[in-house]
């Protein structure tokens, strides 16, 4: 990158030309209908930095790790997006305002204070306290499957991920409490991410925005009930909610009652990406016989059919490679956003305050110079590559990297090692795997898989669906 500072960024940064009258609408529609193709198109056509909007609410999108680093390492200039930055009149003093204010949406001093306080509870050594509860809930899920049964792997893993997250985050009963809050959360999020909700943001009965406000009220009610139950016990545990309640009791000026509600919503960060990683890893392994064999041989050698101990989780490189590869191909979010609070320089450009900057893990993690054959699922690559966090961005990078990454890796390795040692999962013949989602890539019609006892012969099942655009399942070599 040069050191010359270009001041006419809106002329100098390449990007699609706007159509008269329609403006950015065609690009937005392309993005709404096929976000992955839209991102790939922008990168292929314009390169590592693209102007997507000038004028009011200017926006760029960056793909290069050097740009990712510049943006993610300085949260004082680049704030995380939240309701304040959206051009929609979200009622602040409402259930929706409170539930949309958990740690990923906080900025400045408050974010720093809450994150610093919670960091020790997410430390790699601390989270092993939840090892046994993760084994227990996984065993419960596996006991519920029968040899020869068909399951929708998407919904099964989403449920397991909710169970896995409940004890460490809420300290409550996984099935009763965790699932109740999780289901209500999913209902609210579905409404929030519907284009119709955002296009018609009016609190009028019958409109989706009204339904969203009502759904957020029910969610807040469920969360407050969980907090009350946790408080009523009188003794606190080692979970995140207990830690927050204790801070609230000692320093209400640091964590208010509303903050307690908001921070409890980080429960979703604890289960949603884990669920996705669980089902995509199993699906990808089921279609890659050699990679599956490598993982199974490793599990047989290290675990010998037993559930893993915390120490054994550290010596499963084949399994870890498969998980990382699934997260690389299907990152929890294809985009993340920041908002500039000051004018800033990025490469050769001088850019204004009040700009949206989008970063795309999906595209960065497919740069062939970093990940050769980027569309292939190659878990073995992880024994020889060591990308930086600005290149492999699944947990983001910089001072706001995912606080739950150690917990997530522990949970994923426990659950996957137990599932793969107990059952062989095969895609149901005739299945169509089509993906949907604006930011998270999920199988639209679920993932129908056949469950057979371990050691049944595994086989790749030919299938159709747009997932073939995300992963190259049939390399022609
Ligand atoms: C496979 C599992 C996971 C993935 C892929 C993942 C991914 C991410 C990413 C990409 C971010 C940054 C978002 C941004 O920069 O805008 C993030 C932040 C965060 N994650 Fe995770 N996450 C996972 C599991 C967890 C778990 C188990 C928790 C536990 C509660 C958690 C809690 C959080 C929180 C609180 C933040 C906000 C951090 C901050 O703003 O300082 N995540 N996660």
pLDDT single digits (tens) 244-289: 999 999 999 999 999 999 999 999 999 999 999 999 999 999 999 9
Residue owning tokens 């519907």: 194
Contact 351, 345 (CB under 8 A): yes
Mean pLDDT of the chain: 93
Token readout for 362 is 């999906």
233 CA → ligand 1 middle, Å: 29
pLDDT band at 132 (very low <50, low <70, confident <90, very high): very high
- Nearest residue (CA) to ligand 1, atom 11: 402
Convert the pLDDT of each residue in 369-388 to its tens digit. 999 999 999 999 999 999 99
At 73, is the pLDDT very low, low, confident or very high (cuts 50, 70, 90)?
very high
Question: Which band of pLDDT confidence, cut at 50, 70 and 90, is reported for residue 20?
Answer: low
Q: How many CB atoms lie within 10 A of CB 95?
A: 22
**C-alpha 136 – ligand 1 centre gap (Å):** 24
Given a contact cutoff of 8 angstroms between Cβ atoms, the answer to whether 418 and 135 are in contact is yes
- Separation of CA 155 and ligand 1 centre (Å): 21
Average pLDDT over residues 295-304: 97
Q: Kindly state the average pLDDT of the residues 60-64.
A: 97
Give the Å distances, CA to CA, from 63 to 60, 70, 374. Answer: 10, 12, 15
Nearest-angstrom CA–CA distance, 236 and 471: 45
Query: Pocket around ligand 1: residues whose beta carbon is below 6 Å from it?
Result: 80, 103-104, 115, 169, 266, 269-270, 273-274, 277, 327, 332-333, 336, 394-396, 400, 402-404, 407-408
Kindly give the number of the ligand 1 atom that is closest to the alpha carbon of 102: 35
Q: State what percent of residues in the chain have pLDDT above 90.
A: 80
Domains and CATH numbers, the chain: 87-333+366-469 (1.10.630.10)
* pTM exceeds 0.75, yes or no: yes
Q: What is the pLDDT of residue 438?
A: 80
Rounded to a whole number of angstroms, the CA Rg of the chain reads 23
First-residue to last-residue Cα distance in the chain: 36
How is residue 162 written in tokens? 């909710």
Q: Among 124, 269, 390, name the best residue to mutate to test ligand 1's pocket (greatest count of ligand atoms within 8 A of Cβ).
A: 269
- pLDDT for 6 equals 66
Please state, in angstroms and as integers, the Cα–Cα distance from residue 319 to each residue in 425, 445, 476, following that order.
16, 27, 26
Q: Which atom of ligand 1 is nearest to the CA of 72?
A: 15
Q: Which of 161, 400, 402, 413 to mutate to test the pocket of ligand 1 (most atoms within 8 A of CB)?
A: 402
pLDDT at 55: 86
Alpha helices for 265-316 (secondary structure H): 266-286, 289-302
């Amino acid at each position: 990158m040069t050191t010359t500072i270009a001041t006419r960024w809106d002329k100098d940064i390449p990007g699609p030309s706007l159509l008269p009258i329609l403006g950015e609408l065609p690009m937005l529609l392309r993005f709404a209908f096929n976000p992955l193709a839209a991102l790939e198109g922008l990168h292929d056509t314009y390169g590592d930095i693209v102007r997507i909007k000038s004028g009011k609410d200017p926006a760029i999108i960056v793909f290069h790790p050097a740009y990712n680093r510049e943006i993610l390492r300085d949260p004082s200039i680049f704030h995380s997006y939240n309701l304040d930055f959206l051009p929609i009149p979200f009622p602040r003093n409402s259930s929706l305002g409170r539930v949309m204010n958990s740690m990923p949406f906080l900025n400045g001093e408050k974010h720093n204070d809450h994150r610093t306080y919670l960091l020790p509870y997410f430390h790699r050594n601390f989270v092993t306290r939840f090892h046994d509860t993760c084994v227990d809930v996984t065993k419960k899920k596996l006991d519920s499957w029968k040899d020869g049964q068909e399951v929708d792997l998407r919904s099964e893993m989403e449920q397991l991920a909710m169970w896995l997250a409940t004890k460490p985050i809420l300290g409550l009963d996984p099935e009763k409490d965790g699932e109740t809050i999780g289901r209500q959360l999913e209902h609210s999020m579905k409404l929030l991410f519907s284009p119709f909700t955002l296009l018609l943001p009016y609190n009028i009965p019958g409109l989706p925005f009204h339904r969203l406000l009502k759904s957020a009220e029910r969610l807040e009610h469920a969360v407050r009930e969980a907090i009350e139950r946790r408080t009523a016990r009188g003794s606190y545990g080692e979970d995140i909610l207990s830690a927050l309640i204790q801070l609230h009791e000692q320093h209400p000026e640091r964590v208010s009652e509303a903050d307690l509600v908001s921070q409890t919503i980080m429960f979703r960060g604890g289960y949603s990406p884990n669920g996705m990683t669980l089902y995509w890893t199993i699906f990808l392994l089921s279609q890659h016989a050699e990679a599956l064999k490598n993982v199974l041989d490793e599990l047989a050698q290290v675990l010998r059919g037993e559930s893993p101990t915390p120490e054994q989780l550290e010596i499963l490189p084949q399994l870890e490679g498969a998980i990382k590869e699934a997260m690389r191909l299907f990152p929890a979010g294809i985009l993340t956003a920041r908002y500039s609070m000051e004018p800033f320089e990025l490469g050769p450009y001088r850019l204004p305050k009040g700009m949206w900057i989008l970063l795309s893990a999906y595209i960065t993690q497919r740069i062939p110079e970093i990940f050769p054959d980027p569309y292939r699922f190659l878990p073995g690559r992880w024994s020889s590559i060591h990308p930086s966090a600005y290149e492999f961005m699944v947990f983001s990078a910089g001072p706001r990297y995912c606080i739950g990454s150690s917990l997530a890796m522990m949970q994923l390795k426990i659950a996957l090692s137990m599932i793969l040692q107990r059952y062989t999962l095969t895609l149901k013949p005739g299945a169509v795997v089509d993906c949907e989602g604006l930011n998270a890539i999920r199988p639209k019609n679920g993932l129908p898989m056949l469950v057979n006892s371990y050691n049944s012969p595994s086989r790749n099942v030919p299938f159709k669906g747009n997932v073939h655009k995300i992963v190259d399942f049939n390399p022609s070599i």
